[in-house]
Amino acid sequence: MLSLQEISDRLEIQQLMHDYSTAIDQKDFDALDRVFTPDAFIDYSVYGGIKGKYPQVKAWLKKSLAAFPRYYHMVGNAQIKITGDTATSKTICFNPMVAKSDQGEEQVFYCGLWYLDKHVRTPDGWRMTERIEENCFVYNMPPWVVPSPD
């Protein structure tokens, strides 16, 4: 049986996942400051992105996601393991994206992935200290989408 503390911790960690998706989908990158620790490590390299510390990755997100006019993240099936003031999780994400070519042509493609996260309890609540994307599938990616790690 789960304790009230563990139920509360799980809900707060799940909320981080939703807050991340909402911040990205609304292009409110400053909202990510309430999701990640300042020294968090993030790895988007599985889809050709960068990996590094949170401030560097946050700046890259602002630049690289501008190339996609529309997208969303749907997350679920979070497996959360809590050990005291730290936790790990594996969460499914379905991410359809609209890519636009230089000629104005739009195409929808789909990414299916898992987020492999590490979390820590802070005085301000739970935060992510690490996020690594693990690929499951990519479908219908247009030929003009070239990942940019810089």
- Per-residue pLDDT reduced to its tens digit, 46-81: 998 999 999 999 999 999 999 899 999 999 999 999
Stated pTM of the model: 0.93
For the cut 80, the answer to whether the pLDDT of residue 93 exceeds it is yes
CATH label of the domain that carries residue 80:
3.10.450.50
Residues 132 and 14: their CA atoms lie apart, in Å, by: 16
Say if 92 falls within a structural domain: yes
* Domains of the chain: total: 1
Say if 22 falls within a structural domain: yes
Say if 144 falls within a structural domain: no
User: Quick one: what percent of the chain has pLDDT higher than 90?
Assistant: 90
Boundaries of domain holding 119: 4-139
Residues 21 and 78: their CA atoms lie apart, in Å, by: 14
The pLDDT value given to residue 148: 53
Among residues 110, 116, 79, which one has the least CA distance to residue 95?
110
5's CB contacts (< 8 A; 6+ apart) are none
The pLDDT value given to residue 116: 98
Cα 135 versus chain centre, distance: 13
Say if 146 falls within a structural domain: no
Residues 149 and 147: their CA atoms lie apart, in Å, by: 6
User: Quick one: what percent of the chain has pLDDT higher than 70?
Assistant: 97
Say if 50 falls within a structural domain: yes
Q: Which two tokens stand for residue 88?
A: 């790990």
